[in-house]
A and B are shown apart, each in its own frame.
Chain A
Amino acid sequence: MSETENQTENQTASQEDDANGCLVDVEHLKVFFPIKEGFIVDREVARVHAVNDVTFKIDEGETVGLVGESGCGKTTMSRAIMRLIDATDGTLRFRGQDITKAGRKKMEPLRRQMQMVFQDPFASLNPRKRVVQIIGQPLRLHGTPRNKVEGRVRELLDQVGLAPEHLNRYPHEFSGGQRQRIGVARALALEPKLIVLDEPVSALDVSVQAQIINLLDDLQEEFKLTYLFVAHDLSVVRHVSDRIAVMYLGKLMEVSPSEELYTKPIHPYTFALLSAIPIPDPNENRERQRIVVSGEPPNPIDPPSGCVFHPRCPRATDVCREVEPPLARYPNGHLAACHHPMNVTAEEIRAATKDDTSPFSCGDELPAPSEGNGAGPATTSPASTPPS
């Protein structure tokens, strides 16, 4: 096989088990966008650190939620996995095969195994094409005979809950929710393994959001799909994901089994994100303790030293300003990159180990249990001080 040549330079031990169970394997991935300036000759003057040394895996059949605020790099990350953007550094493997630098030829057979559903159902469908052409396009591109296309499109329409008479309509004749169904049908056309969903419901009304989420759920079960669900809305992500990765300024802050992230957030950033979401229940909302983080995410051109969250973090100390925290491994495969973790007991802190998915640039120090910051349920948060 041709890919063996590419693999020789990778000495990571995880190579063998990639083939069984692991669909996507991202190692120390970096995506930097150069900022160029100059007259006639462009010089690179700075770099946007969109994704900065991220390591994680997506297992076959699971749904990984990737969350964070705008500008945190989650979309860049998902596009890099789809090979729509080239990685600056690091390795990307799909079913054990190194595709970091794979060319067009090599990618083509893989493309049908990874598909994408986009955020905006109004912009992601060609307004001049009929539904049958839109959904049929990937089929034609990948060599389905012309006379078979329409039958397959009918089948797909049925699977996403649209009627066969929709076949010859144009996108403008559909509502947002229906359009998103068309986008899902298009992604399903080639029977992919992986579907990257980039904010698939954030442009839709609440009642329609629930319909689409249920549809995605059904399809996953029926076709054994693997999802990477990119979203900023943590409530939606909770309802679809098995595991969740929280990103901030190009770095992974926390990776956790889905339910645990909500009941036991370890990283103060995750806690702040969760507490910023208003709960649709007036009484609970009034009683709840919240951290309102002040300020805004810093500029990714010049990320802060140490922990990238320290300028906004209520728990930040000197060590946070100087040393980048490693991803510490807590029970249940819960990872968090924080010097002052929350909701973990002193014992859990003592037992924590530096995970080998930590970025290269991080320090070796693990959080110390003696600071009295650990124990306690989720509600005992640091003083919920409103911003001045």
Chain B
Amino acid sequence: MSADPDPAATGAPPSGEPLLTVEDLKVSFATEEGVVQAVEAVSFELAPGEILAVVGESGSGKSVTAMTLMGLTRSPNADFEGTAHYKGTELVHASEDQLRRVRGAEIAMIFQDPMTSLNPVHKIGRQIVEQIQEHEALPDQQARERAVELLDRVGIPRARERIDNYPFEFSGGMRQRVMIALALSCNPSVLIADEPTTALDVTIQAQILQRMRELRDETGAAIILVTHDLGVVADIADRIAVMYSGRIVEQGTLDEIFYDPQHPYTWGLLGSIARVDRPRPERLPAIAGLPPSLADRPQGCHFRPRCPHEFGKCSEVPPLEARLDGAPAHLDRCWLTPDEKRERREVRPGEIGLEAKSEAGAA
């Protein structure tokens, strides 16, 4: 289910050919403490115009997955397996030359920290023009015009004057807009946003999210949004992939994940958020324990040591598959049967899980 019918035809709901297909992606890094498997068998598809949220805690592999698609995790100690197909180009093993043609022009990225991701010694106009001319043979004047248009489109007032400012002359929210303008400069069809609003204040976050939604509707670009904030996800995403310790543990549409979550980790995530719209509970339910260290993971299901519903079978790795009738795209990695899950996820206040239905109607 998509959020609401898009007025513009360009913001097509996810359908047809996927734009990006990631299959069985594995990323590991050799470190002094042994091989660290940062991403383990991640597969997902991204449709044109779709906003896919990748949710997880730090160390879950969400950023590594996103950066690998851009070829940004390549280093002598990194090892890759699996494939990521984008319009006929395989990204994981592509040559630097191939990547350079895709990167920025076809797939663009917005980074978390707007304070450090712009070059401080160049005017922002020059940084945008440079990116445009890298991919298109445009004369200076035209490239500059395009840059002004872009800045205007992301909501920077007096774009024609501000284009000759340095990054330090902008506030955090404005810098993040510049980053978005930069990312949009070559009309990419995929935008990867890694925690784009985490460093910003809520009022600015609301503005940026609204802008991203509008841009998706205007340009039809697909967005991969990497975040830990489920509020942001509920606000903007069409589909969600929940990652835990290097694996996708659950994947489905926005409503499926929020209203019919299948994996105990997802229950815990949804249950442990301090909600601004609910009165204060006696205690916040918290998932006990810590995420496992990447170098020393439990056998089988990675969530097993923290899961209150663990049983014998959990020492085998559960496959990521559809377990519900009538929801072929709602995948999860948990051995419990759907009935067991329905029964166990609703708990008393203070425990890990979802609020029992009887209380939910009160609001």
Contacts and interface: CB of A to CB of B under 8 A. Distances in A.
Interface of A: 69-70, 175-178, 205-211, 213-214, 217, 232-236, 238-239, 258-259, 262, 272-274, 276-286, 290, 292-294, 296, 386-387
B28 interface: no
Interface in B222-241: 228-236
A262 B276 contact: yes
Nearest to B293: A175
Interface in B273-308: 273-277, 279-281, 283-288, 290-291
B227 to A, nearest CB: 11
Interface residues of B, number: 52
Contacts of A274: 276
B286 A276 contact: no
A48 to B, nearest CB: 15
B283 A207 contact: no
Contacts of B201: 69-70, 232
B284 A277 contact: no
Contact of A208 (B204, B230, B290): B290
B273 A278 contact: no
B171 to A, nearest CB: 6
A314 to B, nearest CB: 12
Contact of B230 (A176, A233, A262, A280): A280
Contacts of A209: 272, 274
A239 B274 CA distance: 7
Interface in B215-261: 228-236, 254-255, 258-259
24 contacts: A69-B201, A69-B202, A69-B203, A70-B172, A175-B290, A205-B58, A205-B291, A206-B269, A206-B272, A206-B273, A207-B268, A210-B284, A213-B284, A232-B201, A235-B274, A236-B274, A262-B276, A279-B234, A281-B277, A282-B254, A282-B259, A285-B235, A293-B203, A294-B207
A176 B276 contact: no
A177 B207 CA distance: 30
B214 to A, nearest CB: 9
A279 B206 CA distance: 12
Contacts of A213: 274, 284
B3 interface: yes
A293 B232 CA distance: 17
B206 A232 contact: no
Contact of A276 (B58, B205, B234, B279): B205
Nearest to A69: B201
Nearest to A388: B155
Nearest to B197: A278
B325 interface: no
Contacts of A282: 3, 234, 254-255, 258-259
B209 interface: yes
Interface of B: 3-4, 57-58, 155, 171-174, 201-207, 209-210, 228-236, 254-255, 258-259, 268-270, 272-277, 279-281, 283-288, 290-291, 363
Given A207-B268, A213-B284, A259 B279 contact: yes
Contacts of A296: 171, 173-174, 204
Contacts of B210: 292, 386-387
B209 A278 contact: yes
Most B Cβ at <10 Å: residue of A210, A262, A283, A290: A210
Contacts of A262: 276-277, 279
Contacts of A292: 203, 206-207, 210
Given A69-B201, A235-B276, A386-B210, A207 B234 contact: no
Contacts of A386: 210
Given A206-B230, A278-B231, A387-B207, A177 B290 contact: yes
Given A281-B277, A282-B254, 18 more contacts: A175-B291, A207-B57, A234-B276, A235-B273, A238-B275, A238-B276, A239-B284, A258-B280, A276-B202, A277-B231, A278-B229, A278-B232, A279-B276, A280-B233, A280-B270, A285-B234, A292-B207, A292-B210
B272 A210 contact: yes
A220 to B, nearest CB: 13
Contacts of B58: 176, 205
Given A276-B205, A276-B206, A214 B234 contact: no
B174 A278 contact: no
A79 to B, nearest CB: 20
Contacts of A214: 283-284, 286
Contact of A207 (B4, B209, B286): B286
A280 B234 contact: yes
Contacts of A208: 57, 286, 290
A60 to B, nearest CB: 21
A214 B282 CA distance: 9
Most A Cβ at <10 Å: residue of B231, B270, B288: B231
Closest 6 CB pairs of A and B: A210-B286, A278-B231, A235-B276, A278-B235, A280-B230, A205-B57
B258 A281 contact: yes
Contact of A273 (B173, B203, B268): B203
